[in-house]
A = this chain, B = another copy of it.
Amino acid sequence: MSSVESEPALIGIDWGSSSLRAFLISASGEVLHSASSCEGIMHVSDMDFDAVFDAMVRTLAGGKTLPILASGMITSRNGWVETPYVRIPTGADTLAQSLVFHETKSGARIHFVTGAMTEHLGRPDVMRGEETQIVGASALDLADGVFVMPGTHSKWVHVSAGRIEDFNTYMTGEVFAALKGHTILGRLMENGSFNVEGFEQGVAAALDAGANLLHDLFHVRTLPLMGKIEGNVTADYLSGLLIGTEIAAATRGLDGAEKITIVGRSDLSDRYEIALRAAGLESRRAPDDIVAKGHFLIARAAGLVA
């Protein structure tokens, strides 16, 4: 790598609902330095995004003036600047054409990557942030196939040649939290370390031909009530039931030869890998910070870096 290529050339910011990550990126697209905080858009006091931004960029850029790209829920209605969605199919080129410029109070110049939308039978689906991760994946020899992005609202994204061709959101993570915290199903749950067997039992129930979620959920109550599973396994059974239900629906019609890539290295990604294997599907992992590669490729397509 020449010295020019390793010079800082771009700041990429992934600003989601619950966390904020920023990357100092070189002229060759490598991450030179990164910083993160829990100041996701839901946790910014008085919605003073300028203050959080200034502190984060000052730390990272060390006084240099660099092009800045930001992606994620920061462009949503509850974020800093609400931007319109681009329609799929989309990739680095169309996202570069749709950048939304914003000058901060302190005079910094930000280019917001906007989210993507689709419709199925008139029912919209949306993403903000994942489109940038997908573009990043295309640089990592992960350009084609199906991507699953686990989370509060997990996304299943069909990608061809680095372009998003289709996607669907699943509410799985948020449904899990609501059922565990606010229904009778949480009453018999005890804390415990991750129990693979309990999780796999839930996945198996979800993958069964007779699976029937609104009914099967009641077993999360009756199985421990009848002493058939332990209280400290019950939450993992529920997790398996929900993730298994998502996977059964999302992989219907896949022929098994399709590449499935799980984005992220979290514990949640481990669960998806186990459940996919139970469904007879092999998967591979893409790192979470492919988002920085996405920032770089979109910035380059927009002419912001050489």
Contact = CB atoms under 8 A, between A and B. Distances in A.
A184 B174 contact: yes
Contacts of A178: 178-179, 182-183
A222 B171 contact: no
Contacts of A177: 182-183
Interface residues of A, number: 43
A172 interface: yes
A161 interface: no
B175 A214 contact: yes
Interface in A164-195: 168-172, 174-175, 177-179, 181-185
State the number of copies, please: 2
A70 B104 CA distance: 69
A169 B125 contact: no
A174 B214 CA distance: 10
A64 interface: no
Interface stretch (A19-27, A134-142, A241-249, A284-292): A241-249
Contacts of A223: 123-124
Contact of A182 (B122, B182, B184, B205): B182
Interface in A113-157: 121-126, 153
A101 interface: no
A213 B215 contact: no
Contacts of A126: 222, 225
B175 A217 contact: yes
Interface of A: 77, 121-126, 153, 168-172, 174-175, 177-179, 181-185, 205, 208, 212-219, 222-223, 225-226, 228, 242, 245-246, 249-250
23 contacts: A77-B225, A123-B205, A123-B216, A123-B228, A124-B219, A124-B222, A124-B225, A125-B219, A125-B222, A126-B225, A153-B218, A169-B218, A171-B183, A171-B217, A171-B218, A175-B179, A175-B183, A175-B214, A178-B179, A181-B182, A182-B182, A213-B213, A213-B245
The 10 closest A-B pairs by CB, nearest first: A124-B222, A178-B178, A178-B182, A169-B218, A212-B249, A123-B219, A171-B217, A170-B214, A182-B182, A124-B226
